[in-house]
């Protein structure tokens, strides 16, 4: 642990220099990291594919998403309004006199990021957590995911070269390659650590949360821990579009062998004529899916264990399983079904089965669908599939939807997470440890900052974002009015 202690101490020292770099300098830094990752070329894709079993096309796409994210945060830094500058000028003749008050966001300190096994680029070494924390002005220490260690080493090299080229503090990025459980705990408990970002299992994410909460000085942990992403199929659309819905959902359930935290693991529908068509089509579609290798042995083993456990539960019956025999490390896509009454009384069936598995809950009516929906723990996403008739007949579902998840999808699939300002990738516990933030999109930077207020500070000593003349030309709240002044 001495090496890790040294890494964290260096990170803390680097914070003093890094926090006062200009937004422009940090923007160039992020863009240089992006360019350096691209410069690694096919070798990076090949290495990642070897370690994760993910196909080159998918990895190439994910690399594009990663460099796009880095550039998005660079653009955010150049535009500058993200610091939420607010100015209230003095009112000396108020009783008592109102002082001059100005506020903006400042970085928290060294952020520890845990790489995600299912996103070796976009949510690992130079992924969304790292990019947003570096943008905020926080040094980052990444604990490489052991399932793609060499990929992580290559990306860490790209960051190290950017640090040198851009003249950034040498230790603004640290890379921990010790894959042990203990090193993760040690990193979260280290006095220099100011915040933690994690994407992965509930067990892992919750453990990190607990370590952080038990510290002498607790620190924020943003663990994104996945969910079952319930999909409500309303009666009219099931009647009218059963076959098309089955095709759409078979594809979403098995996309990337179900290894997405937004995988639709729970389908909720009403019994009736339409449902049998939907089920029959789903059976055919799932049976035709070609299995593929999963990310690593741990995930492969857990998939089969959790799926088999779910299938063994009383009242659960298999709808369809891929008809091909799986080879080593391959996942067998599967869909099962259960009656709502059984589901409501069986907590095991509420748990996520990470992989290409989905459970269809059959309900007697719309009230039972609502009861199933409301019985679920916090979710990253929830989806409403319906026709205009469905929505006009069941408007009350809309009032309920925000309490279920961080993102509400209409007539689509939850897989696919757009990177943009309006995205929310987060949600009530246990989807996340802090529902007030998002892990994807520009808002992700808000996890690593806090507001600071300057009272009666001479103009020349204020940060640029708060100076009278607004030299950065950013949007500010000026005497409670939004404007570029």
| Interface region with its own copies, contact rule CB under 8 A, candidates 44-52, 179-187, 322-330, 409-417 | 409-417
Q: Which residues of 28-39 are buried (b: 16+ CB within 10 A; e: fewer)?
A: bbbbbbbbbbee
* Number of other CB atoms surrounding residue 449 within 10 Å: 22
Interface of this chain with its own copies, residues 221 to 250, rule: CB under 8 A:
none
Query: Which listed residue (127, 200, 274, 426) binds its own copies by CB under 8 A?
Result: 426
Q: Does 176 bind its own copies (CB under 8 A)?
A: no
Interface of this chain with its own copies, residues 66 to 85, rule: CB under 8 A:
81
Q: Which residue has the tokens 């009861």?
A: 371
- Give the catalytic positions in this structure: 224, 261
Q: Does 428 bind its own copies (CB under 8 A)?
A: yes
Which residue, 342 or 411, has its beta carbon nearer to its own copies?
411
**Cβ 460 to its own copies shortest distance, Å:** 9
**Cβ 369 to its own copies shortest distance, Å:** 17
Query: Which listed residue (180, 403, 459, 468) binds its own copies by CB under 8 A?
Result: 403
Per-residue contact string for residues 91-110; x = within reach of its own copies by CB under 8 A? -----x-xx-xxx--x-xx-
**Cβ 318 to its own copies shortest distance, Å:** 31
Q: Does 450 bind its own copies (CB under 8 A)?
A: yes
Query: Which listed residue (305, 436, 468, 473) binds its own copies by CB under 8 A?
Result: 436
Per-residue contact string for residues 312-341; x = within reach of its own copies by CB under 8 A? ------------------------------
Beta bridge partners of 106: 450
**Cβ 53 to its own copies shortest distance, Å:** 22
Interface of this chain with its own copies, residues 351 to 390, rule: CB under 8 A:
377-378, 388
Interface of this chain with its own copies, residues 18 to 47, rule: CB under 8 A:
19-20
Q: Does 435 bind its own copies (CB under 8 A)?
A: yes
Query: Which listed residue (80, 127, 220, 258) binds its own copies by CB under 8 A?
Result: 220
| Interface region with its own copies, contact rule CB under 8 A, candidates 35-43, 146-154, 338-346, 399-407 | 399-407
Interface with its own copies (CB under 8 A), residue total 76
Which residue, 106 or 160, has its beta carbon nearer to its own copies?
106
Per-residue contact string for residues 111-140; x = within reach of its own copies by CB under 8 A? ------------------------------
d(CA 451, CA 103) in angstroms, rounded, equals: 6
Query: Which listed residue (297, 305, 308, 418) binds its own copies by CB under 8 A?
Result: 418
| Interface region with its own copies, contact rule CB under 8 A, candidates 148-156, 168-176, 205-213, 344-352 | 205-213
HEC letters along the chain: CHHHHHHHHHHHHHHHHHCCCCHHHHHHHHHHHHHHHHHCHHHHHHHHHHHHCCCHHHHHHHHHHHHHHHHHHHHHHHHCHHHCCEEECCECCCCCCECCEEEEEEECCCEEEECCCCCCCCCCCCCHHHHHHHHHCCCEEEECCHHHHHHHHHHHHHHHHHHHHHCCCHHHEEEECCCCHHHHHHHHHCCCCCEEEEECCHHHHHHHHHHHHHCCCCCCEEEECCCCCCEEECHHHHHHHHHHHHHHHHHHHHHHHHCCCCCCCEEEEECCHHHHHHHHHHHHHHHCCCCCECCCHHHHHHHHHHHHHHHHCCCCEEEEECCCCCCCCECCCEEEEEEHHHHHCCHHHHCCCCCCEEEEEEECCHHHHHHHHHHCCCEEEEEEECCHHHHHHCCHHHHHHHHHEEEEEECCCCCCCCCCCCCCCCCCCCCECCCCCCCCCHHHHHHHEEEEEEECCCHHHCCHHHCCCCCCCCCEEECCEEECC
- For residues 11, 12, 18, 20, the Cα torsion angle rounded to the nearest 10 degrees is 180
Query: Which listed residue (165, 177, 350, 429) binds its own copies by CB under 8 A?
Result: 429
Token duo for residue 202: 């509930």
**Cβ 1 to its own copies shortest distance, Å:** 24
d(CA 113, CA 222) in angstroms, rounded, equals: 10
**Cβ 427 to its own copies shortest distance, Å:** 8
**Cβ 454 to its own copies shortest distance, Å:** 5
**Cβ 74 to its own copies shortest distance, Å:** 14
Which residue, 152 or 415, has its beta carbon nearer to its own copies?
415
Which residue, 105 or 158, has its beta carbon nearer to its own copies?
105
Query: Which listed residue (69, 86, 193, 470) binds its own copies by CB under 8 A?
Result: 86
């Amino acid at each position: 642990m001495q090496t890790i202690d040294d890494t964290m101490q260096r990170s803390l020292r680097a914070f003093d220099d890094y926090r006062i770099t200009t937004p422009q300098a940090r923007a160039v830094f992020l863009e240089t990291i992006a360019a350096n990752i691209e410069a690694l070329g096919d070798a990076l894709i090949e290495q990642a594919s070897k370690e994760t079993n993910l196909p080159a096309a998918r990895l190439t796409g994910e690399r594009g998403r990663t460099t796009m994210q880095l550039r998005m945060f660079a653009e955010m830094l150049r535009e500058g309004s993200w610091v939420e500058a607010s100015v209230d000028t003095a009112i000396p003749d108020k009783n008592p006199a109102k002082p001059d008050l100005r506020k903006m966001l400042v970085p928290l300190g060294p952020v520890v990021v845990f790489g995600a096994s299912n996103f070796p680029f976009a949510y690992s070494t130079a992924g969304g957590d790292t990019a947003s924390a570096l943008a905020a002005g926080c040094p980052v220490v990444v604990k490489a995911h052991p399932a793609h260690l060499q990929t992580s080493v290559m990306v860490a090299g790209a960051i190290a070269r950017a640090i040198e080229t851009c003249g950034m503090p040498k230790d603004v990025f640290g890379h921990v390659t010790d894959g042990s459980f203990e090193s993760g705990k040690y990193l979260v408990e280290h006095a220099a650590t100011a915040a933690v970002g994690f994407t992965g299992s509930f067990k892992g994410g919750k453990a990190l949360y607990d370590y952080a909460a038990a510290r002498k000085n607790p620190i924020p942990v943003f663990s994104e821990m996945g969910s079952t992403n319930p999909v409500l199929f309303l009666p009219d659309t099931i009647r009218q579009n059963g076959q098309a819905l089955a095709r759409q959902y078979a594809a979403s359930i098995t996309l990337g062998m179900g290894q997405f935290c937004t995988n639709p693991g729970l389908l909720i529908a009403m019994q009736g004529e339409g449902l049998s068509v939907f089920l029959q089509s789903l059976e055919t579609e799932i049976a035709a899916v070609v299995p593929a290798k999963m990310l690593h042995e741990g995930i492969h083993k857990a998939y089969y264990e959790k799926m088999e456990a779910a299938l063994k539960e009383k009242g659960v019956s298999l709808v369809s399983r891929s008809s091909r025999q799986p080879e080593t490390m391959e996942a067998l896509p599967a869909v099962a079904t259960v009656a709502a009454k059984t589901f409501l009384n069986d907590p095991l069936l509420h748990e996520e089965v990470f992989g290409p598995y989905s459970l269809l809950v059959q309900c007697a009516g719309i009230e039972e669908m609502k009861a199933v929906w409301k019985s679920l723990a916090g979710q990253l996403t929830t989806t409403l599939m319906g026709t205009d008739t469905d929505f006009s007949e069941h408007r009350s579902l809309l009032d309920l939807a925000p309490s279920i998840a961080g993102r509400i999808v209409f007539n689509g699939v939850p897989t696919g997470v757009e990177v943009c300002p309006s995205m929310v990738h987060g949600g009530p516990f246990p989807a996340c440890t802090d529902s007030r933030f998002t892990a994807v999109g520009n808002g992700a930077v808000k996890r690593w900052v806090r507001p600071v207020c300057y009272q009666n500070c001479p103009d020349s000593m204020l940060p640029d974002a708060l100076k009278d003349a607004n030299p950065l030309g950013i949007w500010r709240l000026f005497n409670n009015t939004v404007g570029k002044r």
